[in-house]
Amino acid sequence: MDDAVDADGILLSALAPDSRDDPYTPLAALRDAAPVHHHEPLDTRFLTRYADCQAVLSGPSFAVPDREWLVRERPEWLDRPAADFFYASLLGTNGAAHDRLRRPLAGAFGRGRIAELSADVERTADELLDRFADATSDGGAADFQALVGYPLPVAVVGGLIGVPRADQEQFHRLGQDAARLLEPVRSAADWRRADAAVTALREYFAALLRERRARPAGDLASTLLAEAAAERAPVAEHELADLLLLLFVAGFETTAGLLGLTVFALLTHPDQAALLRTDPALLPGAVEESLRWDGPVLMTERLAVHTTEVAGVTVPAGGSVTTVLGAANRDPLRYPDPDAFLVRRPDVRVLSFGAGPHYCFGAALARLEAVALLGRLLARFPGLRLAGPGVRRPSACLRSFDELPLATTGR
Ligand code: HEM
């Protein structure tokens, strides 16, 4: 079938390293050719329309691959520490098992608690921008991601959880390695990196919990221990360590992506950056537009709980679908002129944080960090500019700059 051959080719080109700067053009072609496309070698159906992705993520007919799936379909992964972690985590549980893990975190990530963090976020952003100003004061370039994009979310989520500042540096590499678990196809090297990182991080967070049990502090690690001890949350200590691990890695890998991608979007659309400089009230909308235009998580997988249909295509029980969030966010049926980056775009409701039971815990925190940082960055550096090509993360799922050289003066 010619159509199927074409759609496979387009899909592979969207996922290829050559398309890392712009996977959206091939994804739009895939949406036009086959909005629900079954890629047989990967045995998953790629969904590129907004309405289909939202329905799958929010509705009761689909679930995440969990431990039962692991035991049934991939027993060869059972000995892997990274699989043991992932398929018992929030991202790898469904229904009551998922609710049990999510409940203890609700207070910590409620609106009130996030608003309280605002002053800390702003202070940290100012400190990091001081370093960035020093590094670029001679007119030269500095790597925005190394100086600001990574350290800000690491400090914020680390502070929330209770990871001491001195320990935070070591997590950059471990976080990247653990995040290989999100690759749609994990190579042997991905597994090796993820296994080693999960093992090291589990040890770290188990030790942190032991320390906080002896000497409670006002952080999330201490709060979770207190709740578990009072049996308000029936979660074992090794599960608490895994929760902290997930929050920590999910909290900075993605947010660092958002910060770099947003700065890049603004610097490549100077008219839009100028609008923000004159009217900072547009900042929250600009962050939403950045999440829509080029968000950090390109796709996520679900399995059909029973035989069901997506846009007229039958998906058998257990069949896999991949919701391509980045493509959904550029669906012309949802957003007119979807490829334009417009900080004043009305009615933006991104799928970049997912939807339904697994909706991102840190969405409010990530938005807070991005708004605080961008406002300061634009106000403080009127001459901010790209100072060379960035280096994008070699990943098919996580979109981020590993390096983004910027300068603040001269040309
Ligand atoms: C721009 C930044 C972020 C983006 C784009 C993002 C994206 C996402 C997405 C797409 C999901 C759903 C995955 C799925 O349904 O399969 C998710 C889940 C999650 N996120 Fe985020 N995230 C961000 C920041 C954060 C932060 C700051 C934290 C924590 C401090 C966090 C913690 C989590 C957790 C714990 C889950 C799992 C929720 C569950 O499965 O119940 N994220 N995130």
pLDDT (0 to 100) of residue 107: 74
- 207: which 2 tokens? 């030790």
Ligand 1 centroid to Cα of residue 363, in Å, is 7
Mutate which of 91, 359, 360, 361 for ligand 1 pocket (most atoms within 8 A of beta carbon): 360
pLDDT tens-digit readout, 49-95: 999 999 999 999 999 999 999 999 999 999 999 999 999 999 999 99
Ligand 1 centroid to Cα of residue 265, in Å, is 22
Q: What percentage of the chain reaches a pLDDT higher than 90?
A: 87
Q: State the virtual CA torsion across 274, 275, 280, 281 in degrees, nearest 10.
A: -170
- Closest-lying ligand 1 atom to the alpha carbon of residue 105: 35
Share the mean pLDDT of the chain.
Answer: 94
Residues with CB under 6 A from ligand 1: 90-91, 102, 157, 246-247, 250-251, 254-255, 258, 295-297, 300, 352-354, 358, 360-362, 365-366
- Nearest to 57, CA basis, from 288, 250, 301, 292: 301
Phi and psi of 302, rounded to 5°?
-140, 160
- Amino acid, res. 242: D
Cβ atoms of 73 and 343 within 8 Å: the answer is: no
Hey, which residues does 263 pair with through a beta bridge? Answer: none
**Whole-angstrom distance, CA of residue 256 vs CA of residue 400:** 7
Q: Which helix (H) or strand (E) holds 252?
A: helix 237-267
Ligand 1 centroid to Cα of residue 166, in Å, is 25
- Nearest to 242, CA basis, from 181, 297, 321, 309: 181
Mutate which of 254, 255, 369, 393 for ligand 1 pocket (most atoms within 8 A of beta carbon): 254
Alpha helices (H) along 1-94: 2-15, 24-33, 50-58, 67-73, 81-86
**Whole-angstrom distance, CA of residue 58 vs CA of residue 89:** 19
Is the per-residue pLDDT at 4 higher than 80? no
Whichever domain contains 274, its CATH number is: 1.10.630.10
Ligand 1 centroid to Cα of residue 243, in Å, is 13
pLDDT tens-digit readout, 243-279: 999 999 999 999 999 999 999 999 999 999 999 999 9
**Whole-angstrom distance, CA of residue 183 vs CA of residue 340:** 28
pLDDT (0 to 100) of residue 361: 92
44 band by pLDDT with thresholds 50, 70 and 90: very high
- 52: which 2 tokens? 């289909």
Residue 371, domain extent = 2-407
**Whole-angstrom distance, CA of residue 193 vs CA of residue 173:** 10
Ligand 1 centroid to Cα of residue 364, in Å, is 10
Question: Which residue, chain included where needed, has tokens 């790898």?
Answer: 92
Cβ atoms of 19 and 26 within 8 Å: the answer is: yes
- Closest-lying ligand 1 atom to the alpha carbon of residue 102: 41
Instruction: Count the domains in the chain.
Output: 1
Q: Whose CA is nearest to atom 18 of ligand 1?
A: 360
Transcribe 353-381 into DSSP letters. Answer: T--GGG--TTHHHHHHHHHHHHHHHHHH-
pLDDT tens-digit readout, 286-303: 999 999 999 999 999 999
- Closest-lying ligand 1 atom to the alpha carbon of residue 354: 10
- 247: which 2 tokens? 């929050």
Within 8 A by CB and 6+ apart from 67, the residues are 87, 88, 92, 93
Ligand 1 centroid to Cα of residue 248, in Å, is 10
Cβ atoms of 394 and 16 within 8 Å: the answer is: no
Q: Which helix (H) or strand (E) holds 401?
A: strand 401-403
Ligand 1 centroid to Cα of residue 185, in Å, is 20
Count of CB atoms situated within 10 Å of the CB of 390? 21
Cβ atoms of 399 and 298 within 8 Å: the answer is: yes
- Closest-lying ligand 1 atom to the alpha carbon of residue 101: 41
Q: Which helix (H) or strand (E) holds 395?
A: none
Cβ atoms of 56 and 323 within 8 Å: the answer is: yes
- Nearest to 204, CA basis, from 257, 145, 149, 158: 158
Ligand 1 centroid to Cα of residue 175, in Å, is 14
Mutate which of 259, 361, 365 for ligand 1 pocket (most atoms within 8 A of beta carbon): 361
Ligand 1 centroid to Cα of residue 252, in Å, is 10
